[in-house]
Amino acid sequence: MKKTQLKLLWLLAAFLLQYQPKICAQEYMRINLKNGTVMSFALSDIQKLKLDIQTGITEQTELVKQLFKLKAFPNPAKDHVIIEYTLIEQGDVWLEIFNSVGNTVISKTIGLQSPGNYQYQWLLNGVPTGLYICRIKQHNQIVSEKIIVKK
């Protein structure tokens, strides 16, 4: 290309960039309901909302994650799973195991335990193959671990 063609191309690009409509962020959220109704909300209003619905999910601090531990092995498991957990303080302990759709498989009150290391053996007789979530609760602290059952 000649220099004059390059200059014209550059000028055209600069002109288009300068007069291109400004791109701005989305200001509204629209929801189309099944009955045909359209609801529109300003995003600035949505950002101001505070939801006080409890989800049951508790975020734990890094310190709690380091001190209140849970481990399941062998994982994947066939016949049994050893659930090993460490408590940092004395208190009542609950063990819960849920299947992948959220149904409770085991809900067991272990009772009052002192700080230390503990084990619970889960026998997998009659337990179908799948993903399970094991959860240990003590006071307001919860730790969980995924368990895969393979037969």
Decide if pLDDT at 82 tops 80: yes
Decide if pLDDT at 52 tops 50: no
Judge residue 91's burial from the number of C-beta atoms within 10 Å of its C-beta, 0-12 exposed, 13-18 middle, 19 or more buried. Answer: middle
The contacts of residue 142 (CB under 8 Å, 6+ apart) are 58, 60, 135, 136
**pLDDT confidence of residue 60:** 52
pLDDT digits (tens, 9 = 90+) for 13-44: 666 666 655 555 567 777 777 788 877 767 66
List the CATH code of the domain at 62-149.
Answer: 2.60.40.1930
- What's the half-sphere exposure (Cβ side, CA atoms, 13 Å) at 50? 1
pTM exceeds 0.85: no
Look at residue 144 and give its three-state secondary structure.
strand
